[in-house]
């Protein structure tokens, strides 16, 4: 007989116990069903993915035999039982009513709701499926993990033991279905999976690569791959270099609680003292804190790992941040970034240092500590902050053959820094009106100017308060002509102290109030043409702007009697396509662009139907008079500015390119060029970046080439490369060349690096590092 029955159970039972009980007591279950009124009043549980309600069971078998005298029920042939999202398949199933023991024989498979599956030749379970024994056991777990064992013992819901077991996340079958040796695996005499502690423990573990044993450990453990966050070892880091000798770093992840964790990563070096890295994270109901740190007690050393005479001292760093949501509109946070040595991150190869951890970001090789509060809604924005900066840019003096660091006392302490923006809900004269406010106080301990007789001079202190009104309206004709008039009114108040007199013997203070105004109009007229497979868009753009002569803030005069302007917030300024149509091209408040000027550009864009695209912009700025507030390197000082050219394209799938340049107004010489390309396909991926700048913000010429990528020689083997070359100095900064192996569950990188740049006390060095990534073992802290 082949019964097919859908049966509501009186109580929740395990899968195989439920199958036997449904067969034996199906009639009783129907008899105990609630009355229609009660059933109507009771909530209906949601169905599982197989269509059954919670507590309902479906069973199918070729034959079911019941032996009432001995209390045994046997099902034979193509058995399939579905219960609470779990499916059992077997050739034979026996249920002992008196003991509640269930036995399944022949091609036993249990498929769980999460997609994992367990297989065995024979399984014996108790009535509630909380304990049991399986022979010829194997399982496919989440993350494609495979486990096999001669026997498996399930002691309770949390503990499962495997004897003579093997563990691997690698594929064990070829594409044609034939078996193959996994890339890596762990074989052990005994394996215990503790779901409560979320750890897998091994006894007499042997690590195998391509079937060969490479390591033996009497005891080993790692995080349970079925657990989201578990304590355990992460991927180690190993290298050999001139600076640190043989170096090995072994991170350990500790899941302290559901809301906090800690990574401890000691770095052991053969030539220098050990160094301890760490990271602690904690989540609160309104936010989280993330703090990285490092510490050692040692002497300083040069680029060859030679200790420099002196007393051992504490050397450390901290890179921390926190962000908290006060309510729907308010949030606050902080960053804490400090280092005891300018080169500590280079010497110990600490990565991901100069990244954004808060709303305010410092320049490269500088650390910023800040505290801030921000309020934001649909129409307004307000922020208040305070911050300090530490400089880590080393300077090498070839005459004295020594390096020294930046003087942090010349950096200002910024605080408070206040910004506010508000857009009126209703229009004014048909356009949108925005109100802006800003204020900042800067305090310096020392001046960057060093007098010939030595000593230090007091640093410049300043305070500014700004109020601003901005109005803009858009008109668009039926033909597509867009005209956007705008008006900007601004008032600034300054208080400046410790301004140095020309003879550097005394200081004075000054106060200034100024009013600034700008009126202008943007005009654009895009036209397009459709071809058989593309759309072409041409758009001429013009902007006319007028401002009365602005009162610039002068804090001194140079040797040629030219004014020296206060410029705290527009130092890093580049004239390119992003600033061409700014009414005031200075990004900050201290400097202001005045006069009458005309900004012109032409844009062209081609969009192909197959996804290819190309864009081009050519522009220039004109003014009625020279504006000597702009520096010579800006390209904006004369009546006619330099030419701005910007282009990007994706001519085929897997290839994208970009270029932006500033060309001389008279002879089209390139003053600044930045270009690059990205490529990826089945053979690999790569990138290239090129930068040529006549004068960077430090007044020095820069020409740099940056490139890197990977080439897949075969399906599993490849080479990687990276290089950074200073073309102006004709020297490589960094060169990396690596060989890697990769498959579905392992990646091994062997990388050779040479650093040629002399940075402070660090001489050129060479190193070889090994990076090993195993699926389900280790990984980043965010991954576990």
Q: What is the pLDDT of residues 728-760, one digit of tens each?
A: 888 888 899 999 998 878 888 999 998 876 666
pLDDT of residue 313 exceeding 80, the answer is yes
| pLDDT band (50, 70, 90) for residue 262 | very high
The stretch 36-41 carries a mean pLDDT of 36
Give the pLDDT score at 37. Answer: 35
Give the pLDDT score at 175. Answer: 75
Give the pLDDT score at 69. Answer: 82
Q: Is the peptide bond before 416 cis (omega within 30 degrees of 0)?
A: yes
The stretch 215-240 carries a mean pLDDT of 79
Give the pLDDT score at 744. Answer: 78
Give the pLDDT score at 18. Answer: 38
Place of tokens 């991954």: 783
Can you read off the two tokens belonging to residue 436? Answer: 């802006």
Give the pLDDT score at 440. Answer: 96
DSSP 3-state of 558: coil
Give the pLDDT score at 417. Answer: 96
| pLDDT band (50, 70, 90) for residue 228 | low
The stretch 664-677 carries a mean pLDDT of 93
Angle at 91 between CA 88 and CA 93, to 5 degrees: 70
Q: Of 633 and 8, which is predicted with more confidence?
A: 633
Give the pLDDT score at 285. Answer: 92
Report pLDDT digits (tens) over 22-36.
Answer: 333 232 233 333 333
The stretch 514-540 carries a mean pLDDT of 95
Give the pLDDT score at 770. Answer: 84
| pLDDT band (50, 70, 90) for residue 576 | very high
The stretch 627-632 carries a mean pLDDT of 90
Give the pLDDT score at 448. Answer: 85
Beta-strand runs (E) in 392-533 = 395-397, 402-404, 413-423, 432-443, 461-472, 475-476, 482-500, 507-524, 527-530
Give the pLDDT score at 193. Answer: 82
Of 128-142, 287-301, 493-507, the range with the highest mean pLDDT is: 287-301
Q: pLDDT > 70: what percent of the chain? A: 88
Distance of CA 569 to the CA centre of its chain: 28
Burial call 327-342: b when 16+ CB within 10 Å, e when fewer: eeeebbbbbbbebebb
Q: Long-range contacts: 201-204, Cβ < 8 Å, 24+?
A: 202/167
| pLDDT band (50, 70, 90) for residue 779 | very low
pLDDT of residue 677 exceeding 80, the answer is yes
Element (H, E) at 314: strand 313-325
| pLDDT band (50, 70, 90) for residue 363 | confident
What's the start-to-end Cα distance of the chain, in Å?
51
Q: Of 229 and 331, which is predicted with more confidence?
A: 331
Say if CB 143 and CB 775 are below 8 A apart: yes
pLDDT of residue 231 exceeding 70, the answer is yes
pLDDT of residue 390 exceeding 90, the answer is yes
Q: Of 616 and 776, which is predicted with more confidence?
A: 616
The stretch 568-584 carries a mean pLDDT of 90
HEC string of 60-83 equals: ECCEEEEECCCCEEEEEEEEEEEE
pLDDT of residue 486 exceeding 80, the answer is yes
Give the pLDDT score at 397. Answer: 57
Listed residue (668, 673, 541) closest to 603, CA to CA? 541
The stretch 163-188 carries a mean pLDDT of 83
Beta-strand runs (E) in 340-406 = 366-376, 380-391, 395-397, 402-404
Give the pLDDT score at 524. Answer: 96
Element (H, E) at 192: strand 184-194
- Exposed, middle or buried, 490 (CB in 10 Å: 0-12/13-18/19+)? buried
Pairing of strands 746-755, 731-742: antiparallel
Give the pLDDT score at 127. Answer: 67
Q: Long-range contacts: 87-90, Cβ < 8 Å, 24+?
A: 87/50, 87/111, 88/15, 88/16, 88/19
Element (H, E) at 685: strand 684-693
Place of tokens 């308060």: 465
pLDDT of residue 496 exceeding 50, the answer is yes
Say if CB 294 and CB 343 are below 8 A apart: no
Cα–Cα distance for residue pair 413/123, rounded to 1 Å: 71
pLDDT of residue 505 exceeding 90, the answer is no
Q: Which residues contact 618 (CB under 8 A, 6 or more apart)?
A: 601, 602, 643, 644, 645
Q: pLDDT > 90: what percent of the chain? A: 49
Listed residue (206, 192, 200, 191) closest to 231, CA to CA? 200
Burial call 374-388: b when 16+ CB within 10 Å, e when fewer: bbeeeeeebbbbebb
Give the pLDDT score at 784. Answer: 33
The stretch 126-153 carries a mean pLDDT of 80
Question: For all residues of the chain together, what is the average pLDDT?
Answer: 85
pLDDT of residue 129 exceeding 60, the answer is no
CA dist 751 to 246, 275, 394, 623, Å? Answer: 14, 22, 26, 54
pLDDT of residue 460 exceeding 60, the answer is yes
| pLDDT band (50, 70, 90) for residue 401 | low
Task: Give the global pTM.
Answer: 0.77
Overall residue count recorded for the chain in this entry: 784
Give the pLDDT score at 625. Answer: 93
Cα–Cα distance for residue pair 336/94, rounded to 1 Å: 65
The stretch 484-501 carries a mean pLDDT of 95
Cα–Cα distance for residue pair 43/48, rounded to 1 Å: 15
Give the pLDDT score at 706. Answer: 95
Cα–Cα distance for residue pair 501/557, rounded to 1 Å: 9
Ranking 14-18, 85-89, 321-325 by mean pLDDT, the lowest is 14-18
Element (H, E) at 136: strand 132-141
Give the pLDDT score at 125. Answer: 77
């Amino acid at each position: 007989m082949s019964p097919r029955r859908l049966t509501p159970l009186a109580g929740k039972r395990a899968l195989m116990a439920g199958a036997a009980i449904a067969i034996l007591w199906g009639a009783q279950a129907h008899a105990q069903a609630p009355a229609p009124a009660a059933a109507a009043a009771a909530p209906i549980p949601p169905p599982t993915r197989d269509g059954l309600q919670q507590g309902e069971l479906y069973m199918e078998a070729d034959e079911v035999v019941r032996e009432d005298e001995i209390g045994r029920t046997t099902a034979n042939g193509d058995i399939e039982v579905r219960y609470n999202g779990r499916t059992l398949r077997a050739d034979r199933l026996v249920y002992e009513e008196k003991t509640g023991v269930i036995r399944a024989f022949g091609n036993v498979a249990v498929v769980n709701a999460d997609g994992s599956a367990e297989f065995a030749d024979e399984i014996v379970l108790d009535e509630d499926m909380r304990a049991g024994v399986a022979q010829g056991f194997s399982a496919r777990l989440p993350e494609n993990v495979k486990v096999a064992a001669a026997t498996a013992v399930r002691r309770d819901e949390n503990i499962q033991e495997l004897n003579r077991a093997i563990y691997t996340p690698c594929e064990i079958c070829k594409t044609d279905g034939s078996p193959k040796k996994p890339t890596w695996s762990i074989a052990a005499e005994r394996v215990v999976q503790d779901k409560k502690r979320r750890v897998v423990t091994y006894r007499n573990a042997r690590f195998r690569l391509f079937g060969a044993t490479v390591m033996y450990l009497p005891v080993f453990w790692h995080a349970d791959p079925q657990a989201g966050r578990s304590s355990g070892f992460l991927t180690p880091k190993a290298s050999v270099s001139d600076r640190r000798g043989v170096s090995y770093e072994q991170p350990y992840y500790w899941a302290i609680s559901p809301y906090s964790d800690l990574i401890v990563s000691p770095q052991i070096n053969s030539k220098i003292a050990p160094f301890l890295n760490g990271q602690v994270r904690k989540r609160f109901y309104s936010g989280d804190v993330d703090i990285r740190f490092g510490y050692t007690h040692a002497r300083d050393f040069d680029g060859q790992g030679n200790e420099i005479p002196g007393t051992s001292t504490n050397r450390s760093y901290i890179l921390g941040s926190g962000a908290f949501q006060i309510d729907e509109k308010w949030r606050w946070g902080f960053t804490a970034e400090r280092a005891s040595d300018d080169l500590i991150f280079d010497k110990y190869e600490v990565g991901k240092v100069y990244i954004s951890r808060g709303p305010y970001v410092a320049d490269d090789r500088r650390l910023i500590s800040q505290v801030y509060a921000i309020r934001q809604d649909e129409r307004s924005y307000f922020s208040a902050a305070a911050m300090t900066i530490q400089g880590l840019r080393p300077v090498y003096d070839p005459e004295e053959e020594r390096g020294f660091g930046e003087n942090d006392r010349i950096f200002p302490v910024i605080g408070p820094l206040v910004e506010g923006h508000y857009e009126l809900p209703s229009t004014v004269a048909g356009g949108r009106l925005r109100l802006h406010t800003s204020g900042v106080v800067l305090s310096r301990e020392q001046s960057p100017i060093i007098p010939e007789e030595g000593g230090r001079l007091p640093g410049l202190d300043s305070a500014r308060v700004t109020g601003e009104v901005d109005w803009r309206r858009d008109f668009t004709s039926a033909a597509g002509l867009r005209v956007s008039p705008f008006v900007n009114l601004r008032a600034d108040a300054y208080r400046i102290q410790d301004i140095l007199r020309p003879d550097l013997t005394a200081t004075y203070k000054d106060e200034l109030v100024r009013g600034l105004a700008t009126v202008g109009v943007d005009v654009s007229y895009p036209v397009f043409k459709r071809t058989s497979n593309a759309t072409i868009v041409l758009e001429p753009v013009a902007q006319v702007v007028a401002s009365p002569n602005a009162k610039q803030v002068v804090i001194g005069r140079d040797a040629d009697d030219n004014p020296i302007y206060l410029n705290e917030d527009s130092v890093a300024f580049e004239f390119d396509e992003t600033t061409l149509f700014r009414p005031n091209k200075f990004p900050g408040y201290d400097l202001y662009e005045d006069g009458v000027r005309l900004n012109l550009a032409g844009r062209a864009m081609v969009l192909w139907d197959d996804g290819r695209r190309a864009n081009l912009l050519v522009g220039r700025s004109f003014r009625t008079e020279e504006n000597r507030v702009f520096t010579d390197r800006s390209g904006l000082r004369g009546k006619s500015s330099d030419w701005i050219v910007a282009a990007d394209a994706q001519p085929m799938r897997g290839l994208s390119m970009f270029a932006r340049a500033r060309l001389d107004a008279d002879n089209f010489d390139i003053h600044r060029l930045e270009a690059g390309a990205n490529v990826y396909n089945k053979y690999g991926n790569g990138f290239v970046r090129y930068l040529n700048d006549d004068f960077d913000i430090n007044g020095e010429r820069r020409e740099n080439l940056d490139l890197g990528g990977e080439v897949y020689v075969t399906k599993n083997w490849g080479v990687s490369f990276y290089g950074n070359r200073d073309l102006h100095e004709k020297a490589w900064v960094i060169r990396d060349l690596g060989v890697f192996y990769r498959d579905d569950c392992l990646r091994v990188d062997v990388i050779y690096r040479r650093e040629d740049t002399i940075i402070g006390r660090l001489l050129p060095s060479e190193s070889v590092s090994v990076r090993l990534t195993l699926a389900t073992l280790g990984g980043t802290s965010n991954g576990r």
